[in-house]
Structure 1
């Protein structure tokens, strides 16, 4: 097979980089403003940002009127800024992750160029953009893409010093990035996984040396960055008169760090979860290259090639680090992708010429296209199992699936199996563009309760107060009226007891509740309940206060006020989201 022709001249590189950057901007940016925040995490962070803007309380993040100690505030600050600049949640909530993804791409390409040359740099950028988890998270407003930006910058600083240095400025910049990463999510220290290999290669005089003073300076910079938020937070919480702030301090410093890692209470999975259930798809299609990459890595290990082995060793240590914790989520593997690309970088031109790898890419595309095409046709014909699945999720994607399947077939026919990876890459362009437009339109009504909460307001009347016991953040975010909740950490039964007491205090209040939970209370007058239908996987009722007068309530704890979450329209005429 003829290799991809990317001449190593400056002009050719600039043209190739401009095309790559333009493609990345289009793929990452398309779809912004076309959907609402979707669960599980997006509505929560949008609420954090909105409450910062509404209350002016930026130091301590809140969610629906309560302190939110699960994560530090950097991502919430970025979300609040982008929502404030755009004047809209819909426009603003995806911008921080989009910018973080593009920044990560810049870092990966730049280091690859400096270490391996211009041609390899373009291959590295294409490889990162092709990774399924990278693009998925670039289009998802979760915290992990911003974390990946700072862990990649931390790794970039260390590698720039070690492989291209000495460069004490980049060494310290890497440590500063880790500090910001900690303030984004506690595991911002992941680039420290580079240090064992760094020490080994420095001992063998193959990289720039690092002394004890360098480590102390780096750690000092990291601690100074963390302290810029952490010290004032601790002082305010310790010496203030609000006990909830002290609870916030202890939670974020201890429960959400050491306890969550060693004795996680959520997302508990076996040790091999990442190896069997995450990395095979998250690293796709790069994972297809492993049968050829592993022997090449072994040869470079024997030669002691620090340029490959430093990022590769860090990748292995990070996978091991997260595998040892009982709590696991697939998104935790996202920071490994830049390290994987750097480890593969010098091999990519040769891998591209591998006929068997091209055929493997063609086979994967054929399999995915066939599955989508057959499933789309059977769904359109009304296959009961697929129809039941669609009804449960409120989405009928048959036409989209058929188009994706036909696109796969057309690309394979055009490029042929000897250019299977090229066909797969072009298909990914079709997939991500259609995902960000067609699939957004298909899913938004099912994953965002925007329409349901508008309907609720039309029933209750504008300004009527609404009780939201045990409601997920997406319902709080989309509420069109002043609302109350009864403590996210409070047991559900206690929340409903408090809700009944609150409802019975005023006759024009309403209760918004899941049907399965309302059915646990026969004291509710069923003849007064209004069926709202299914939303986000649950059946919902709207219940007037009068229907709960026979229910026993507990008024000992006050409800938490949740102000309307709309923002003023920049034109000053209407609220926007």
Structure 2
């Protein structure tokens, strides 16, 4: 193994090469030699992954996509499978330019493997999360030893944001995996190298991250704290020397990953020259990237927003920060580059996303695996502190007591706030089951405090959170999905129009096309709603006896006569109506919407 730099003038006992090699000591030498693991280590490693699989997969296949983002991606994946066009994503008849297509293509590939959309739309998130967990363990093992890697992975597996997103059919777990893979490749090269293949793999993974969500370049910022460490000759820094061609190879690997998608895309657009194609490229490469960062149009939050995310969405790991930060500061004072590089990168990621006004909690999710990695070597010692042990169990008591109390109060006393909660989520007859699950969740958490009342706060938190996610996956999430499903609305529509009629959607939500088994007509998704309605009226006039339109009730006036429509119910909090051509007001025949009616749509965002 390449010797680390030695700090001149430091006593021998403090030098990195004088430290004893101890697999369980957080200051032992990093080892990237893939030495054979002890049988117990191998067992713990596979128990970790098996437990993670059972926990993260709990409930998969029991629900369909739920708003807001899941139906959008699933709808794009449906179109890929149905049309065979996996290069240009479509949302209905629109080209979907908000995100590159890699994640939706992964969902479509999952369907070709499983033949089940209820599994396919969640499978990429599940596999990506398992991959991220393995990378944190493996990198921690190489840097500090098996125990540190295991604790880092378990810390990640406990964290609310990581597990919640792993159970969602959204893009963030996948981009987090690619960014973590990129970080792992760079850190193996910069801290355990030279390892040029790992470096090139990391750069390639960063490129895959770019064609997943656009922020895949973030791992390349790891080079900044590395340059600081090299310049100041920090410990655990191998002499990473290489030719210009080897360093340039990383840039080429990054570009090659992006080219896998961009080259076919540009060729396709060149062969299909149109205003729509040019608008797609402009929106994808400029409006959804640079312009969205510099001049955002939604999700405005204050500069300190991500501090609240860390202390809420990163629970319970964030509770250990008072014990971890002093350990990190000690290692930074000792010039330990193994802490500087990932921790410095985390700070840069948070600052990067804090500089724009648009902020969402998932934006900084890629930093979470690196935080768990840095926590791994010191987490056990932190949890042995009496204060942090009490905080961890207090967290379980608070969460469990709240869940149990709310469930008992809702079932026994039916307070107004509980009734409003159930009504807003359309729980209906399943309301009692929901509150019973809350009681079960609270009782499980309190039971863990009782079982581990004296020692093992970490085990109590791990067992408690595992129970939370099992109950959520098998009970709560499917219950919410069924309650908010448009299946009942679709059934009413089908019984009204019959099997041979044609159906069009106006001002539609992404979950609606997923619920229908028949072909549907739409007039765009981001097209202003009044223009959609005008197009629908003209389309309907061509075959008035066979064509129906399903429309959001809020956008009917003044062109659609409410008394002549069919009320098909409420889904996702919106009232929907079904009409034929005889419900169109005379002033709007031939798709002519009066000029004054445009004001009726003022303030309604067609993108929702």
Residues 1:374 and 2:412 are matched in the alignment: no
C-alpha change, 1:225 and 1:128, in structure 2 (3 Å) is: same
Give SS of 1:241's match. Answer: coil
d(CA) in 2 for partners of 1:94, 1:331: 17
Give SS of 1:438's match. Answer: helix
From 336, 354, 379, the equivalent of 1:348 is 379
**Corresponding residue for residue 275 of structure 1:** 307
**Corresponding residue for residue 220 of structure 1:** 252
**Corresponding residue for residue 509 of structure 1:** 547
**Contact preservation (8 Å) 1:301, 1:309:** yes
Q: Residue by residue, what CA displacement relative to the aligned partner does 1:79-133 show, whole Å, maximum 9, x if unpaired?
A: 1110122112112111111000001111110011111111112111111100111
**Corresponding residue for residue 79 of structure 2:** 51
Residues 1:388 and 2:426 are matched in the alignment: no
**Contact preservation (8 Å) 1:308, 1:344:** no
**Contact preservation (8 Å) 2:152, 2:374:** no
C-alpha change, 1:256 and 1:417, in structure 2 (3 Å) is: farther
**Corresponding residue for residue 224 of structure 2:** 196
Report the structure number with the largest CA radius of gyration: 2
**Corresponding residue for residue 20 of structure 2:** none
**Contact preservation (8 Å) 2:24, 2:148:** no
Residues 1:261 and 2:293 are matched in the alignment: yes
Give SS of 2:570's match. Answer: strand
**Corresponding residue for residue 314 of structure 1:** 345
**Contact preservation (8 Å) 2:149, 2:377:** no
Residues 1:338 and 2:376 are matched in the alignment: no
**Contact preservation (8 Å) 2:410, 2:435:** yes
**Contact preservation (8 Å) 1:524, 1:550:** no
Map 1:68-79 → 2, pairs under 5 A:
68-79=96-107
Q: Residue by residue, what CA displacement relative to the aligned partner does 1:367-416 show, whole Å, maximum 9, x if unpaired?
A: 11121112112221211121022112113221111111122222212211
**Contact preservation (8 Å) 2:153, 2:373:** no
Unaligned segments of structure 2, at least 5 residues: 1-22, 26-35, 594-608
**Corresponding residue for residue 564 of structure 2:** 528
d(CA) in 2 for partners of 1:235, 1:538: 41
Residue-pair matches, total: 550
Q: Residue by residue, what CA displacement relative to the aligned partner does 1:21-57 show, whole Å, maximum 9, x if unpaired?
A: 1110101112111100111111111111111111111
d(CA) in 2 for partners of 1:31, 1:365: 23
Map 1:157-168 → 2, pairs under 5 A:
157-168=185-196
Give SS of 2:588's match. Answer: coil
**Corresponding residue for residue 482 of structure 1:** 519
Residues 1:540 and 2:540 are matched in the alignment: no
**Contact preservation (8 Å) 1:504, 1:548:** no
Tell me which moved more, 491-500 or 236-245: 236-245
Give SS of 1:531's match. Answer: strand
Tell me which moved more, 469-478 or 542-551: 542-551
Give SS of 1:264's match. Answer: coil
RMSD across aligned positions (CA) = 2.1
| 1:555 Cα deviation after fit | 5.0
**Contact preservation (8 Å) 1:392, 1:537:** yes
From 457, 467, 475, the equivalent of 2:504 is 467
Map 1:391-402 → 2, pairs under 5 A:
391-395=423-427, 396=431, 397-402=434-439
d(CA) in 2 for partners of 1:441, 1:224: 40
d(CA) in 2 for partners of 1:116, 1:546: 74
TM-score, reference length from structure 1? 0.91
Unaligned segments of structure 1, at least 5 residues: 558-577
Give SS of 1:462's match. Answer: coil
Q: Residue by residue, what CA displacement relative to the aligned partner does 1:152-176 show, whole Å, maximum 9, x if unpaired?
A: 0000000000111110110111000
Give SS of 1:155's match. Answer: helix
Tell me which moved more, 354-363 or 450-459: 450-459
**Corresponding residue for residue 118 of structure 1:** 146
From 262, 278, 290, the equivalent of 2:321 is 290
Map 1:99-248 → 2, pairs under 5 A:
99-206=127-234, 207-208=237-238, 209=240, 213-248=245-280
